[in-house]
Amino acid sequence: MTSKELYSKGARVWIPHPSLVWQGGEVVEDYTKGNLKVKTDSGEVSTLSITSNENLPPLRNPDILIGENNLTSLSYLHEPAVLYNLQFRFCTQNNIYTYCGIVLVAINPYTDLPIYNSETILEYRGKSMGELDPHIFAVAEEAYTKMEREQRDQSIIVSGESGAGKTVSAKYAMRYFATVGGSATETHIEKKILASSPIMEAIGNAKTTRNDNSSRFGKFIKLHFNKNNNIIGASMRTYLLEKSRVVFQAPEERNYHILYQLCAARNMYPSLLLENAKSYKYLCQEASIPGVDDLKCFQDTLTALQILGFSELNITNVFKVFASILHLGNIEIVESSGHGETDSSFIQENDPHLVTFTELLQLDAAKLRKSLCFRWINSMKECVEKPLTVIEAKGARDALSKHIYAILFYWIVEGINKSLESSSDAKHKFIGVLDIYGFETFDINSFEQFCINYANEKLQQQFNQHVFKLEQEEYLKEEIEWIFIDFYDNQPCIDLIETKLGILDLLDEECRMPKGTDITWAGKLYEKCNKWQHFEKPRFGSQHAFVIKHFADRVEYEVVGFLDKNRDTVMIDQVWALEHSGNELIRKLFSEDYARHLSVTMATPTIGPTLRKRKTVGSQFRDSLNALMATLNETTPHYIRCIKPNDNKLAFDYDAHRAVQQLRACGVLETIRLSAQGFPSSS
């Protein structure tokens, strides 16, 4: 049909709107070249200036298609059609799931729904995609069936910003596999897999302004299946724990759940000498979450640790170590005026939190106290003891707190993996479930956001390669009539970050410089990276920042703190004090053998003098990301895009502006654009 026929009087169209994003309208006069008169649903009449057919407003779908459960079934595929269909399904029908070809779009309802019970799992078992309403169980069933039929590893990639529901989606997928992959001979493994969730949420999740249960680490869980397609084991790999949260949280945010749980359970463990959460500097921002009982959550965590086979001694030691971090943060460090030193720090011998910290971890109090206020400097001729200023000592104390928390986190993950590992040495098929940070941009963005957004660039590239590049090439190979369609390729942005003389390389180089600083590094970025299309020096505001034009958004990063976070060092004096602990767990965690083991398997902090021999956090993260991508590329992937419908955590409330931001950022609208040009949906 011609444009004149399509845009005749009575045709229904979409018009851009400042608050609704798009508003419905109706053509009130037949289209004549150059002008189109439209009346909006709110009653306003306006004449649109049309310079070319590309400027004509998008056409609305017929009413019979409103609420379609697969976006690719719509007659007109474009942004307003997607937004309206998702909004109608979500707000009017209370359907949180919608297909977009091979992608499942999941909108967080911010309320519990009765659609995840055992009966629902059985309904989806054996059904093909599309037979029943869209559901995460349908995606899980598709992955399980493909593994059965094709004998090929599968992966479910769950993405979305904080608060969009990624962790819950991953948890329901695992519940599905634990149910359909269960067997009479492996009665405990399913329980153990499900028990890993409350533990990981306790030690790795926290309340943020965007999400009351935000995962502050990424994880890739492999569920292993035998030749009969029964679950026989599992393994978990974690990525980029947010260690800075241990010592600092933004207003209205919390530290990790486990620390509040322990304070709530203090009467069960009086030897920890804990008080209420508000008594601790590391927990002083926000004490509670509405509707969450920290004591009940502690009981769930404790039960899960027992199910996974942690001994009572190890459980007690774990709680001692977590509690000791709270006491460490409360140790008073003051100027040593009157104690024989100037411009140096001092801790009272009888500081109650110092006493409790050293008793819990069975440490030499004098050595620990000294290690917090002094450091050894190696010179050409001798070792010199240098007093730390109060600011330096507090920074060293906080670095130690982060180090203790992180190393215990990794040890617990290892314990979970040992409990879940298969007893068989044979190679098994697996289904992997990836739950990792979504794209982040805040008022102030630092090293953590840089790494998170780098990971999302890699994941978006994986999505592009699977959905766009590989499929298009397959049609040409099979000589199916096909026209190549342009899509956004983010390889140049990834190159900016990870190639030689890219951002990570220059950061590592500056970390090796004895006098390297965040500011000198920024200068080198401006000099070396200005040739990259995706790099900018801020035009206004901070001159100690840089901008990356990511696939999702333009993000400005403050350079202050990048070098320290990339080095992630802890003072060797403090490590020596902990190495000689009378507590078996602490002694093991700080032994040289365990440090070597973790440096191979995890991104762990560096001990001062060995900096040149260790990889930085950024380079370790790059290597682990590349290994993850290699694993995903060997699987058949399935995609779940989680959408956060509003910022106020309101049930079934839909903010079109927030939704469209996320749909653009996660590639759903790009998928729709290609579908509109003839790109078929896969099954």
* Residue stretches of the annotated binding site: 160-167
493 within 8 A of 457, measured Cβ to Cβ: yes
Which distant-in-sequence residues (6+ apart) come within 8 Å of 104 by Cβ? 97, 98, 134, 136, 138, 139, 638, 639, 640, 641
Distance CA 243, CA 549 (A): 26
DSSP 221-280: EEEEE-TTS-EEEEEEEEE---GGGGT---TT---BHHHHHHHHTTTT-GGG----GGG-
Q: Which residues, in sequence order, are CB contacts of 235 under 8 Å at separation 6+?
A: 221, 222, 224, 417, 420, 421
Q: Which residues are annotated as a binding site for ATP?
A: 160-167
664: helix, strand or coil: helix
Active site residue 438: yes
Active site residue 445: no
Measured in degrees and rounded to the nearest 5, phi and psi for residue 190 equal: -65, -40
Q: Which of 61, 196, 215, 419 is catalytic?
A: 215
Of 361, 404, 442, 396, nearest to 241 by C-alpha is 404
For residue 682, indicate whether it is catalytic.
no
Number of Cβ within 10 Å of residue 623's Cβ equals: 12
* CA-CA-CA-CA torsion sign (169, 171, 174, 178): negative
To 10 degrees, what angle do helices 668-676 and 79-87 make?
Answer: 120
* 547 bridge partner residues: 536, 556
111 is a catalytic site residue: no
Of 95, 108, 162, 169, which is the active-site residue?
Answer: 162
Among 201, 242, 286, 440, the one annotated catalytic? 440
Q: Given the residues 155, 214, 464, 490, select the one marked as catalytic.
A: 214
Catalytic one of 432, 438, 502, 618? 438
Structure tokens at 642: 């989680």
Cα atoms in the 13 Å half-sphere on the side-chain side of 342: 0
Question: Six-digit token pair at 515?
Answer: 């006098």
Told to judge if 167 belongs to the known catalytic residues of this protein, a careful annotator would answer yes
Q: What span, in angstroms and rounded, lies between the C-alpha atoms of 600 and 596?
A: 7
Residue whose structure tokens are 């991953």: 170
In DSSP terms, 103 is beta-bridged to 100, 639
Tokens coding 504: 């990570």
d(CA 652, CA 638): 26
C-alpha dihedral sign at 266, 270, 271, 277: positive
Instruction: Give the active site residue among 211, 238, 345, 358.
Output: 211
Question: What's the distance, CA 576 to chain centroid?
Answer: 34
Whether residue 214 lies in the annotated active site? yes
The yes-or-no answer on residue 162 being catalytic is yes
Give me the residue label for tokens 């008073």. Answer: 332
Q: What angle do CA 207, 213, 219 make, to 5 degrees?
A: 115
239 beta partners: 218
Q: Given 167, 196, 456, 606, which residue is catalytic?
A: 167
- SS3 state at 377: strand
**Please, is 153 exposed, middle or buried when counting C-beta atoms within 10 Å of its C-beta (0-12, 13-18, 19+)?**
buried
Cα dist. 114→117, 118, 433, 573, 654 in Å? 7, 11, 23, 55, 21
Task: Read off the tokens for 295.
Answer: 């004591």
> What are the start-end ranges of the E strands in 550-600?
554-558, 569-570
Catalytic residue numbers? 162-163, 167, 211, 214-215, 438, 440
